[in-house]
Copies of this chain bind each other. A is one copy, B any other.
Amino acid sequence: MLKVPDHQVAGHEGHDGMLGPLIDDSGHFYKPLQDDDRGSNEVAFYKSFSSNTQIPDHVRRFFPIFYGTRLIEASDGSGLHPHLVLQDTVSSHLNPSIMDIKIGSRTWYPQASEDYIQKCLKKDRDSTSIALGFRISGLQVHGSQESETWKPDKKLVKKFTAKDVRLVLRKFVSSNTSVDTGMDPDCSFASTVYGGSAGILAQLLELKKWFEDQTIYHFYSCSVLMVYDKESVVKERNSGAEVKLVDFAHVLEGKGVIDHNFLGGLCSLIKFITDILSCSDEYEEAKASLQDPDKNCNCTD
């Protein structure tokens, strides 16, 4: 039984009879192949990547497992349509907080058509991509109650400034974010979700190490997906935080050169998260020493 996923934060959605991804009960994610080159490019990437013996296992875990392609009934009711069959990295989480971050200050590549280049360039300039080396494409954050979810509208996300991005990355790991109260996010989950040996920062640093050396692929318009469970954080002090790379419709051959565009953006994201962690560490220390227990972390710029 296939259904439209509950937790999609970016990309084309399959609601209201539109063509979008589907999931099943056994952890598979069905992504409809786009009709143009993008569909065949993404299949080609997954085929190349899954058979490439040069990819170490500690890097492979950052990519969804590829199960091939399959013709299935499309979510828009238009009949059989080819889909990528992938590991569903989100649905294994009960109430996942998710952020989709498109990495790279440049989403275009010289081989593309002039039209496509100009379209991408405009989006890169209108968003935070040029300034920060990445932009947020979508997110949802679960509040303290199950019913509370903050999932800003796509139009709002598109308008995020550098300041918004810093705030949203803090809200993502805060317990007081569900309603837009203008309250300063408390970053109380930062050390569990971003920090620690299995946290998001550690995973991003692992990925960075690979990107400093790998010259096989260049990832344009590719996203880092950050996922964690708020329940797990609260109950077990273990967030199950996961980093995954997704969207490979614009992957090119590296031809012996590193992906400096992706790497630069990744390093910028890492710095944002490091800043939040050191800020929340200071807060924790302050709280522990009881010098200023009500002091909120406000490293907002």
Question: What are 27 contact pairs spanning A and B, CB under 8 A?
Answer: A105-B106, A105-B260, A105-B261, A106-B106, A110-B125, A110-B130, A131-B257, A132-B260, A133-B257, A133-B264, A162-B255, A162-B257, A166-B256, A212-B267, A212-B271, A213-B271, A215-B271, A256-B275, A256-B301, A257-B268, A258-B271, A260-B264, A260-B265, A263-B267, A264-B264, A264-B265, A264-B267
Shortest A131–chain B CB gap in Å is 7
Chain B residue nearest to A215 (CB atoms) is: B271
Known: A110-B130, A130-B110. A267 touches B258 (CB 8 A): yes
Q: Nearest CB to that of A110 among chain B residues? A: B130
A162: which B residues are within 8 A, CB to CB? 255, 257
Residues of chain B contacted by A106 (CB below 8 angstroms): 105-106, 130
B residues in contact with A261, CB < 8 Å: 105, 133, 264
Give me the interface of A with B, judged by CB distance under 8 Å. Answer: 105-106, 110, 125, 130-133, 162, 166, 212-213, 215, 255-258, 260-261, 263-265, 267-268, 270-271, 275, 301
Q: How far is the CA of A130 from the CA of B108 in the complex (A)?
A: 10
Output the residue of A257, A264, A268 with the most chain B CB within 10 A.
A264
Determine the residue in chain B with the shortest Cβ distance to A117: B125
- Give the complex CA separation of A257 and B301 in angstroms: 10
Taking CB as reference atom, which chain B residue is nearest A211? B267
Q: Which of A110, A131, A260 has the most CB of B within 10 A?
A: A260
In Å, the complex CA distance between A130 and B261 comes to 9
Which residues of chain B are near A301, meaning CB under 8 Å? 256
Distance to closest chain B CB from A73 (angstroms): 42
A290 to B257, CA, bound (A): 32
Assembly CA distance A105 to B220 (angstroms): 14
Q: How far is the CB of A205 from chain B (nearest CB, A)?
A: 11
Q: Chain B residues near A271 (CB, 8 Å)? A: 212-213, 215, 257-258
Give bound CA distance, A263 to B258, whole Å.
Answer: 12
A133 near B260 (CB under 8 angstroms)?
Answer: yes
- Most B CB contacts (10 A, CB to CB) among A263, A265, A301 go to A263
